[in-house]
Structure 1
Amino acid sequence: MQLTKIAIKNFRGIEELEIDLAPCTVLIGENNTGKTSILEAIYTCLSRNLARKVVPFGDYDFHLTAAMPDPSSSPPIELNFTFVESEEGEWPDAIVQAFDKAYQARADNRLEIRFRVVAAYDPASKDFFLDWTFRDLADNELTGAKSPQLVRELQQLNPVFFLAAVRDAGHHFQGRSQFWGSFTKNPQIDDATRAELEEQIEAINQIILDSHTPFDEVKTQVAKTGRLVPLASTDLVSVEAIPARIFDMLNKTQVKLAARGGAKLPITQHGAGTQSLSVLFLFEAFLNSRLAEAYDPDSEPLLTLEEPESHLHPSAVRSLWQVLSGIRGQKIIATHSGELIAAVPLHSIRRLARKAGKVEVFQVNEGTLSPDDERKINYHVRAKRGNLLFAKSWLLVEGESEFWFLPEAARLLDLDLELEGVCCVEFAQCGLAPLIKLATELGIEWHVFADGDPAGQRYATVARGLLGATPEAQRLTLLAEKDIEHAMWSHGYSAVYDSAVGAPQRANITAIPGTPDYTEQTIRMAISSTSKPHLAIEAVEAARQAGSPGLPAAIETAITTAVNNARL
């Protein structure tokens, strides 16, 4: 029984948002786009007490604005949760019977449960209230599904666990923690064995205390407490070097990891990355051995996990997706790691972005990309370590020259492409159309910078075919010249290319200076003598010098348009 959709209204910074969820969903987006809010909304409603007189939301959980800065004047929080069978008959009879008044049969015969939680201010009572309802497929309240037992059953069958970005082993590996505590409580030791062990422990304790006499003075002085308050008359003070009772010993059990040198250290003495991973694996151990006992045999756990890459080396992050995929149950993960995203299937990604001041969610829908497109894009994403999926705007370029040239050229315009959220993406190896489709699906703005040669003209045609309702100027810059080298030559930088020609290649330049053939031969020999990326950097350096002609207008247009797209 998995959560397939959550719809949020007026919760924290989210005014309205609806997200389709997969068995493993990965949330990406800039800071303050609502990733943590989504995780905590799920955790709050599917794990907390939802008694109608208990409101589990704080003042700042309401959607506050300049016009409505007070929770009492804010619109109600509304959180909708949808559970749908993955196939007809998936849910066992126990679940169907438990929710016989709450589920609905869809047209495809799959069963669906819709659960809504609302929190609002009541002017009459001058207090906040909580309400929950189960809904039918037309979004009407199911008046027969009002028993609080239904909510408890829902939370038992879908236990939600939230692991925040800071995963402190000292907190999670202690007796009162949800995961570790389940392993240390209720000792599975029979009474006779327990009594024998405790007798042996007491004997060991006494040997330690007899050998370490400084505790005698402590016992003498602490015994004076009995003169002032009523306590036992005999054997008043005892010192335990090790816990004398089995339950206490289990409660204080330590887990140690051997360091590289072989020393066995408590987990809390290892680095933050090691602690973070240890907590994740402790959770997996809990799911594997204690979940059914703690919840229900038919329980489907839901792990909401924030920044699993926290404190990990990139090489460890690259292997993390396999670990997460192997953990039982449904996962909803928020991440800022390009290394992790590089391993995530495209259809599992949900990109959150602010458009016109409101948070929207984007995803790659089934059928948008062909299998061949997906294969190429997955390779491209892995090669770029996934960072391009975090960009606000893509500047799509043909090859290496533009990739090296444009970010440096932007600095001449006092623009930092990385800071603006613009990513230069080479498309020659992947193909232009798949990347434009991907950007459109994920809500990433895009702009194509194409050469004026026949290949560039074909790329321009592809871009024009995918404009939709967007003006061409926002999506395409086409050079008048055949490529960026010829554009810079025509703009007054011929010396860059002429000086780059090596002596052996100079003999191959036979055309008369000032003719088109001379330009063509010189640029070709300059590339042969060095490389296109080298010439791109040299051209930027020449443009950086005082008194230079600056940048060609088409190049300035491409850069500023990509930046303006990122600022939308």
Structure 2
Amino acid sequence: MYLRALRIENFRAIRKSALSFDDGTALIGENDCGITSVLDALELVLGFDEKSRRYPPWLFHRDLETGRPRGPIGIQLRFAERHAGEWSGAEYEPFEALLPAAGKRPRELWYEARVSPAGARDGEAEYRLRSPRIKARSSDPDLIGRFRRMNPVIRVPAGMLSGHGPARNWPDGREADGLKVSKEMRDLMARINRAVNTRLSGRSLDLKSDLEDGYLAAFRLIEMGTIKMGKWEAGLTRSISEIIGWRPDRKRSRNTTLLRDPDSDSERLGILLLIGALIRARPGGMAPDADPLWIIEEPEAHLHPITLTSVAMFVSLIQRQKILTTYSGDLLSAVPLSQLRRLVRHDGELHERRVRKNVLSRSELRRFHYHLRSRFPGVSFSRLWLLVEGESEFWILPQLASLMGYEFALEGISCVEFAQCGLMPPLKVARELGIQWHLLADGDDAGKAYIKAAGDFLDEDSRVTLLRHKDIERFFWEHGYSGVYERASKLSPQKLQKLTPGRIIQAAVRKTSKPYLALSIIEAIATDGSPGIPPRLEKMIESCVQLAREAPERLA
């Protein structure tokens, strides 16, 4: 089944939220935005045993003044067919009474949990399944249990890929319903974990041998999936085969089809890290008809970038729904823009922002990805984009802010060069993702055109600053810093007297570079007795800092 949407009320840090999901979804946000609460809610209602579905008092969202719960916890998961008629198979027959007849559009099935602060014994929730299109619902424990088994969560917390995260263990390897995993399968799991742990700990005496042993153990697990085994084992081995890229031939148990052969130790290590995380997350296996939801949290934790790239590649092979959380710009830049969800929490309400379909043309999407996402992968995490035309502004403005006592990185401000990309793509993406922005434009015809183009996106005049000079170099020349360019030009006093400011600035750029001149301007401004920061830029930086600090409230 495909999780299309999630609604949460009064759960932990979240008073209210409504989130949407794709086949692959990347959740980003600041540390206190509530992403962990979202993932905990998913794991709680789709948990594999009764103990994991308790609702202790601290899970209720509370009023800050009274300290009392604001109301009952409500969690609603909206599942849908990926395509019309998908749920017509035999495995979905138990839910037939809850579903309308298959038609031209995908059907939905909603799974809901509700628990009041003074609710059922020991914080138990009331669960039910219902259809939004027909008045049918069920609270049958057996049916709900089957629904959970068909939709398990494979949660890989931060660090688990590298062996640092928590493992989920059950006595004797038993699942909640008492089904036991065979000794052979547990031994193979141990071989995989041993290969991963010796590699990561640096204790490996023979890296290739250890990787090969773990790899062979993984293949043996896949082969076990083609012969008679417990149903929970079969579900787990199927997930392993998806990671490794092999598809066993059910007619001939020894024959397999390789979708992609890992040709380096880094790729093999990436496979084993992912399989090891799966085993630690689901040591008791899964039902054979399970359609697991993968939740992978901060996979970059403790991993070298090469290994992370390998893991990410094999994650992409998993033909299941996936939710990713990350603080890695490089990893995020590989995620399609449409799958990105930017979460901001204000006053307990969790807001989702995403780039809707067809907002950007194909050309705009390509330019935005090439010139911004791939070159500056961290910009999606920013609170505010300071849109600038060229290289000089990119170097100068953060340093000017430092002289004023502000650090752009700490304020969540990124300077974004848009000249190559064009102004429209970053403006559209900023509006869609709820990122604040400010435009600094030169005083030439192109700059005036940029200001005019930004008019449709303006909600207040404080979002634009137009320099009254051709470019920022001429701007600083006219504000008392002509000497910086004259010295950098290496021209004689006689030639300087004959040339216009524009020609002198051009000579200075040819002799040095724009980054060099930018740093020279900063040094000159910081010198005692200098004219200081031009008031126009000082006012702009103050405005940007204010916008960035108000970002959560403005999004709400």
TM-score band by shorter chain is 0.7 to 0.9
Contact 2:84 2:102 in 1 (8 A): no
CA distance in 2, matches of 1:556, 1:105: 64
Deviations 1:454-484 (A, max 9, x none): 11111111111222xx1122x2111111111
- Return the match for 2:337 from 323, 327, 346: 346
Quote how far apart the aligned CAs of 1:151 are. Answer: 0.9
Quote how far apart the aligned CAs of 1:509 are. Answer: 4.7
Residue 502, structure 1, aligned to residue 490, structure 2: yes
| Bigger mean CA deviation after superposition, 344-353 or 402-411 | 344-353
Q: How does 1:109-508 map to 2 (within 5 A)?
A: 109-122=105-118, 128-137=123-132, 142-143=136-137, 145-167=138-160, 169=163, 172=167, 185-187=181-183, 255-256=194-195, 262=206, 278-283=272-277, 294-297=286-289, 299-355=290-346, 358-467=349-458, 470-473=459-462, 475-503=463-491
Contact 1:284 1:328 in 2 (8 A): no
Residue 57, structure 1, aligned to residue 55, structure 2: yes
Larger radius of gyration: 1
* 1:427 to 1:385, Cα distance in 2 relative to 1, 3 A: closer
CA distance in 1, matches of 2:282, 2:58: 36
| Bigger mean CA deviation after superposition, 87-96 or 427-436 | 87-96
Quote how far apart the aligned CAs of 1:399 are. Answer: 1.0
Structure 2 residue identity aligned to 1:34: G
CA distance in 2, matches of 1:554, 1:178: 68
| Bigger mean CA deviation after superposition, 557-566 or 91-100 | 91-100
Q: Please give the secondary structure, in 1, of the residue aligned with 2:351.
A: strand
Structure 2 residue identity aligned to 1:61: L
Quote how far apart the aligned CAs of 1:146 are. Answer: 2.5
CA distance in 1, matches of 2:520, 2:3: 55
CA distance in 2, matches of 1:137, 1:178: 39
- Return the match for 2:506 from 496, 519, 524: 524
Q: Please give the secondary structure, in 1, of the residue aligned with 2:523.
A: helix
Contact 2:128 2:140 in 1 (8 A): no
TM-score by length of 2: 0.78
TM-score by length of 1: 0.77
CA distance in 2, matches of 1:345, 1:177: 42
Contact 2:2 2:321 in 1 (8 A): yes
CA distance in 2, matches of 1:162, 1:29: 19
* 1:356 to 1:489, Cα distance in 2 relative to 1, 3 A: farther
Structure 2 residue identity aligned to 1:157: M
Quote how far apart the aligned CAs of 1:439 are. Answer: 1.0
Quote how far apart the aligned CAs of 1:315 are. Answer: 3.5
- Return the match for 1:100 from 93, 96, 101: 96
Quote how far apart the aligned CAs of 1:278 are. Answer: 4.0
Quote how far apart the aligned CAs of 1:408 are. Answer: 0.2
Contact 1:352 1:362 in 2 (8 A): yes
Residue 15, structure 1, aligned to residue 15, structure 2: yes
Give structure 1 stretches of 5+ with no counterpart. Answer: 189-246, 268-273, 512-516
* 1:276 to 1:57, Cα distance in 2 relative to 1, 3 A: farther
CA distance in 2, matches of 1:546, 1:20: 55
| Bigger mean CA deviation after superposition, 253-262 or 17-26 | 253-262
CA distance in 1, matches of 2:467, 2:360: 29
Quote how far apart the aligned CAs of 1:183 are. Answer: 13
CA distance in 2, matches of 1:275, 1:540: 47
Quote how far apart the aligned CAs of 1:560 are. Answer: 1.6
Contact 2:344 2:350 in 1 (8 A): yes
Structure 2 residue identity aligned to 1:544: A
Counting matched residue pairs gives 486
CA distance in 2, matches of 1:499, 1:325: 55
CA RMSD of aligned residues (A): 3.6
Q: Please give the secondary structure, in 1, of the residue aligned with 2:500.
A: helix
Q: Please give the secondary structure, in 2, of the residue aligned with 1:360.
A: strand
Deviations 1:362-384 (A, max 9, x none): 11111111111111111134433
Quote how far apart the aligned CAs of 1:137 are. Answer: 2.2
Contact 2:54 2:122 in 1 (8 A): no
Aligned to 1:38: 38
Contact 2:372 2:421 in 1 (8 A): no
Quote how far apart the aligned CAs of 1:101 are. Answer: 2.6
Aligned to 1:89: 85
Aligned to 1:537: 519
Deviations 1:336-382 (A, max 9, x none): 11111011111111111234664311111111111111111111344
* 1:559 to 1:39, Cα distance in 2 relative to 1, 3 A: same
Quote how far apart the aligned CAs of 1:96 are. Answer: 3.9
Structure 2 residue identity aligned to 1:8: I
Aligned to 2:238: none
| Bigger mean CA deviation after superposition, 11-20 or 41-50 | 41-50
CA distance in 2, matches of 1:248, 1:478: 67
Structure 2 residue identity aligned to 1:131: E
* 1:350 to 1:419, Cα distance in 2 relative to 1, 3 A: same
Q: Please give the secondary structure, in 2, of the residue aligned with 1:80.
A: strand
Deviations 1:68-126 (A, max 9, x none): 413xx431111110011122112232244221232346985321101111111238x89
Aligned to 2:29: 29
Structure 1 residue identity aligned to 2:130: R
Q: Please give the secondary structure, in 2, of the residue aligned with 1:42.
A: helix
Contact 2:399 2:522 in 1 (8 A): yes
Contact 1:133 1:142 in 2 (8 A): no
* 1:498 to 1:252, Cα distance in 2 relative to 1, 3 A: closer
Structure 1 residue identity aligned to 2:371: H
CA distance in 2, matches of 1:152, 1:385: 46
Structure 2 residue identity aligned to 1:519: P
* 1:126 to 1:66, Cα distance in 2 relative to 1, 3 A: farther
Structure 2 residue identity aligned to 1:295: A
CA distance in 2, matches of 1:384, 1:40: 34
Contact 2:168 2:280 in 1 (8 A): no
Quote how far apart the aligned CAs of 1:12 are. Answer: 1.1
* 1:357 to 1:565, Cα distance in 2 relative to 1, 3 A: farther
Residue 77, structure 1, aligned to residue 73, structure 2: yes
Quote how far apart the aligned CAs of 1:180 are. Answer: 12
Q: Please give the secondary structure, in 2, of the residue aligned with 1:256.
A: helix
* 1:179 to 1:415, Cα distance in 2 relative to 1, 3 A: farther
Contact 1:133 1:141 in 2 (8 A): no
* 1:354 to 1:481, Cα distance in 2 relative to 1, 3 A: farther
Contact 1:26 1:335 in 2 (8 A): yes
Structure 1 residue identity aligned to 2:544: A
